[in-house]
Structure 1
């Protein structure tokens, strides 16, 4: 797997999707030393289960451990720290990590109880987990989701769980963006496998999950977050730490040079209708057998339009889904390749949220 590769797979079975990504990566080419230490860094920011849209699906962790052990890697640990005020141990317990640890003989490392080493980058001194600094190969397992302070969180921000609570507080006092960029110069993940199955619409702690049924893998955390931002409907300027990290040499934001490898087509299973805030946004849509990857991107696009007070300008609902295949209707507009017979249609399977935003803006400017 090359630095510019972004490998994406669609579906609803996290176990098989994870294995498909791993098989396409050539892990032995990236890590030829079978005795190397490997740390898995999930997102367990709060003690809630993955269906909330906040935390990494444990099936992903299990699938990676099984795959690595089959390949002869046995120095594996799971390393994480919940946000300030919450218990990592509760997060481990709620998500079944204690049983995973026992079954596969993989230790759990709570960064809150780890030793730290001070590192300084860009004038910011932070306390970073010794376990993370000393590990040979770090696999980050972030959830792609919204965030109330930084707009989104994915690979770059997931590294914040490698800090002491004191440094986490410092990061917040400095506005998060510059410190997050600096942290990824100190230590960035060697491989990122993104849980983008049902990340929350707005908040790091979950509560408004949006089903998108996809996962993707990257080696460049900056490129990973640039791609993730486009899926959620954000411009790079909306998430300042991404370009800051690029300027510090942590990676590239150049998606035009990225090699996007799609392992399969989005699942044809109809999307599970969202609840709460996402359900409210759904009133601007006309779904008919819509795939979750496509519909989820549309929900994120509508949310971005709402944030800039442009949702009120939407004059007609957006059609989406396989039910529009073969439908010829010049009066309707839709997103996704299934709606190509409508009067106006945005191609893609699925289109990114950022492209949907541009399409809807142009549609309502007519």
Structure 2
């Protein structure tokens, strides 16, 4: 696998999608039969994946089935929920206790583990013992926002590998610097991002946004840079991404990335019946007809960033999106390839939130 490659597959069937992705990248070529394979999901709180907070159980089942079909049976799921919540409760609420029984895979709560201090080349960090015993670590973050660091994805997901005392210390240090340095110690072998349903701006969930995709690659810095643009941010504006690149952990320059899209999204977005109040408010600016989830999700993230910058109120008209507008010549703002006949259109299939945001900012400032 090329370290500069980012693989993307679209859809809403997590188990099928992740198997197709793994078949394309063939991680089995990097694993030998006696290796201990660790799966590190995001179970920051005891909430189901539909909330936008935790890693898809369907995706995890698909990974386990793929690995077992390849003859690998030494598999462990490791996680430590955030301070104040119970990992054991998260395992149950998120459905991982069922996965453990069904597939014979151990669940390991890092909160109950011992730990040792490691030198990250300028910073000492305590890391849980079991994490360091894993031979092949598969990082399974959720694509979502964060109230302090703007986004949380591959790099920040390693925070579940440290004890609660260290998590508290990270917050006193401002998160960005210790997150970057932690990734000098804990180095995932492969990253598979759950971009099926994430949260708009808070890692605890509550404002779920369908993005209908799974993203994968070896470089966690490049993955996070890609995730940042999908959510409407410049990667270099996210402190820990910039610092992680400076520390030599990976590359944040997306111009050097090879984006491999394995298919195109065709799943029409749901009507956000379970969406939080903020997503429902943002959706009032959208006129959609049969919009794909990946495209619609990007637009929601872009509108959220526009709102944060105090510019949403200056948007003088609603934004059109969806396959129902294919071939139509309309005076207005369209998002995505299907609205190519509009007088003003953001190209892409699907476009990134960052591109939509830049387009809308130029429009409202005109």
Instruction: State the TM-score, normalized to the length of structure 2.
Output: 0.97
Summarize deviations over 1:282-338 as a string: whole Å, max 9, x none: 122211111111011000001001111111221221111111101112x21111000
> What is the rounded CA distance, in whole Å, between the counterparts of 1:332 and 1:206 in structure 2?
33
Match of 2:295 in 1: 294
> What is the rounded CA distance, in whole Å, between the counterparts of 1:50 and 1:245 in structure 2?
28
Match of 1:321 in 2: 322
Summarize deviations over 1:103-135 as a string: whole Å, max 9, x none: 222111100111211112253322101111121
Matched, 1:308 2:309: yes
Does the 8 A contact of 1:6 with 1:259 survive in 2?
Answer: yes
Does the 8 A contact of 1:41 with 1:80 survive in 2?
Answer: yes
> What is the rounded CA distance, in whole Å, between the counterparts of 1:328 and 1:19 in structure 2?
40
> What is the rounded CA distance, in whole Å, between the counterparts of 2:68 and 2:122 in structure 1?
40
> What is the rounded CA distance, in whole Å, between the counterparts of 1:286 and 1:188 in structure 2?
43
Match of 1:205 in 2: 204
Does the 8 A contact of 2:286 with 2:321 survive in 1?
Answer: yes
Can you give the 5+ residue segments of structure 1 that lack an aligned partner in the other structure? none
Does the 8 A contact of 1:301 with 1:356 survive in 2?
Answer: yes
Correspondence 1:10-21 to 2 at 5 A: 10-21=10-21
> How many angstroms does 1:275 deviate by?
4.2
Correspondence 1:326-365 to 2 at 5 A: 326-329=327-330, 331-365=331-365
Does the 8 A contact of 2:210 with 2:269 survive in 1?
Answer: no
Summarize deviations over 1:87-106 as a string: whole Å, max 9, x none: 00000111222221122221
Does the 8 A contact of 2:321 with 2:338 survive in 1?
Answer: yes
Match of 1:260 in 2: 259
> What is the rounded CA distance, in whole Å, between the counterparts of 1:362 and 1:141 in structure 2?
36
Distance 1:268-1:97 versus aligned 2 partners, 3 A rule: closer
When structure 1 is superposed on structure 2, of 261-270 and 132-141 the one drifting more is: 261-270
Summarize deviations over 1:175-212 as a string: whole Å, max 9, x none: 00000000000112111110011101111110110111
Does the 8 A contact of 2:226 with 2:235 survive in 1?
Answer: no
Matched, 1:75 2:74: yes
Secondary structure in 2 matching 1:342: coil
Count of aligned pairs: 364
Secondary structure in 2 matching 1:93: helix
CA RMSD of aligned residues (A): 1.1
Secondary structure in 2 matching 1:155: coil
Q: Structure 1 segments of 4 or more deviating over 6 A?
A: none
> How many angstroms does 1:235 deviate by?
1.1
Can you give the 5+ residue segments of structure 2 that lack an aligned partner in the other structure? none
Correspondence 1:97-116 to 2 at 5 A: 97-116=96-115
> What is the rounded CA distance, in whole Å, between the counterparts of 1:107 and 1:149 in structure 2?
32
Summarize deviations over 1:16-61 as a string: whole Å, max 9, x none: 0111111111112222x11111000000000110010000011111
Does the 8 A contact of 1:151 with 1:238 survive in 2?
Answer: no
Does the 8 A contact of 1:271 with 1:291 survive in 2?
Answer: no
Matched, 1:95 2:94: yes
Does the 8 A contact of 1:199 with 1:211 survive in 2?
Answer: yes
Does the 8 A contact of 2:8 with 2:261 survive in 1?
Answer: yes
Secondary structure in 2 matching 1:290: coil
> What is the rounded CA distance, in whole Å, between the counterparts of 2:183 and 2:354 in structure 1?
25
> What is the rounded CA distance, in whole Å, between the counterparts of 1:271 and 1:6 in structure 2?
27
> What is the rounded CA distance, in whole Å, between the counterparts of 1:147 and 1:287 in structure 2?
27
Match of 1:279 in 2: 280
> What is the rounded CA distance, in whole Å, between the counterparts of 2:343 and 2:238 in structure 1?
34
Instruction: State the TM-score, normalized to the length of structure 1.
Output: 0.97
> What is the rounded CA distance, in whole Å, between the counterparts of 2:276 and 2:117 in structure 1?
43
